[in-house]
Structure 1
Amino acid sequence: MRYIRFGVLSTAKIARTQLIPAMFRAGNAEVVAIASRGSKVHEVAAALQIPKAYESYDDLLKDPDIDAVYIPLPNYLHKEWVCKAADHDKHILCEKPAALHEREAAEMIEYCKEKNVKFIEAFMYQLHPQHERVREIIASGEIGDVKLMKSSHSFYMKDRVTNIRMDKEMGGGSLYDMGCYSIHAACHILQTEPIRAHALAEMDPDTNVDVSTFAHLKMTNGVNVMFDCSFDMANRNEYEIIGTKGTIKVPYAFRPDKNEGGIGLIVVTCDGVSREERIPGDLYRLEVEHFSNYILEDGEPFNTAEETIRNMRAIDACYESIQTGQVINIKQ
């Protein structure tokens, strides 16, 4: 059995609590090194049983025993360290959103192609099998023709002083942090893309960061998509598909791992009669294994470069709409 040997750039919470444990559970990966600026990285490495700890990202990238890196750095640092990782022939799994705008994402992806390394934006939610089941139900015609998709993703942020999500220069904002999921899910589930965007936001008066965003997308197939994302509301991570005959609700759409046992739940309602389907899935392990197989077998990525660029294009349009108050046509 071949393994992909991972290095992790940062001791970010998502790395410590989700991705690194998933690398240990994966059947084709192992984590061999972690890096962070400062001596605390050695404590983290010891606690997580990671063999090597580096006090600089550059030193980790120079390690010849590392095949790929996971990058959970703040959004504004993604391009810099994706390109540096590519310079050292490391394949890259980069946290979402990949960049701060479409042009930056396209430049990163092109650079990785030039350096002949694999790059994937880490939209892990899509690998949970509940979403493939939703697409099967839609294709079966059970809920009729799809007319509308609604999506909500939020949590109430208590600490707004030190949280980097509230720093505009670092790529903070609810649209970057959570709205990106709703946009991606609309394209992934409906197999289409947005052609128009209209959004408005509630901005933090001190940081000028969108703490809540409310948006409407018109898709190429005529379906309407409405989504909201927020640092100012209770925990939600859900979507609903509304058709001419019925509805599909997915209450743990983006973080089914927070449900007991990682169980995804699908609720289908037609003619006032509902049924539930419960679907298990080890979300982050699936992400690590898919990415590792993409490298080992030169297979298909679970999230393509085109999907990454498309998502950033829609995010750009939403921010432009927030700034101008206008409906924005999205160039294809």
Structure 2
Amino acid sequence: MKAVFFAAKGGPEVIEVRELPDPRPARGEVLVRVRAAGVNRADLLQRRGLYPPPAGLREEVPGLELAGEVAAVGEGVTALKPGDRVMAIAGGEAQAELAVAHERMLVKVPPSLTFDEAGAAMEAFVTSHDALVTLGGLRSGWTVLLHAVGSGVATAALQLAKAAGATVIGTSRTADKLERARALGLDHGILLGKDEPRFADEVRRLTGGEGAPVVVDFVGAAYAAENVAALAQGGRIVVVGTLGGNKAAIDLSLLMRRRGEVIGTVLRPRPLEEKIRATRLFAKDVLPLLAQGKVKPIVDAALPMARAREAHERLEKNDSFGKLVLTF
């Protein structure tokens, strides 16, 4: 098979396409003929040697999600058969013509989704559902503060929050991304300055002084103090990413007075059973919305595997809106 391959640790120039041995499914596993695989910021970190995959997976082959057709099934697999259209999150090695996944990690692709869309769906929607609902406890009528609103996960979180009956306040450093997010249901957009971001006062103004019960943050340290200031009584800050740094100073007395919680989360290193649980919750709550067209994966561009370097360069420049996908 052909696969995206990191020949060394470094910039996009280390990306190659190489021939590798075909994987084989073990008991309970499924071999997938990959048609599309999303590109995520974790791939950029892995390329630089900063985010290794779980044990047993090649560090040189990236990929956290895939969509394709079942090519073969291992012993004991009964829920899927060759030819089924499937999608899944993965610990790694998804950006290849063939990939292996545990039977219970796979979800059937709704007929309404193309492979390109399905390849962009799982990481974004599983992560956002986990952050908003499982960890954030989102309820209808609440306000959600969503940072980096043009990112792949944030475009999914925005749609899920709206589908749940929430009001969404989004932030971005790019006016165009705020405008495009409004087409997905964004209620209020806050354009942030390039240097020192300030948004808490505006969030409190928009919420009548109450603040946001749920904050989903992909930026981290740079936004931490403002997140606490923007939080509602009893609210939760769910930290999904640290693009703006991982060490922050916050006012703990304010967090205490707000009776707030700061919850950190990461999906990839979780034990298999926890990832299966997140996948099953996605299948129950989100898959019907995708099938009905009430939410949709936002694909900025679908590029052939040979253009993987370009996909990494575009993601590093932060030019994309939604997800970049590689096709195989």
Q: What is the TM-score of this pair, normalised by structure 2?
A: 0.38
When you count helix as a share of all residues, which structure comes out higher?
1
Using structure 1 for the length normalisation, give the TM-score: 0.37
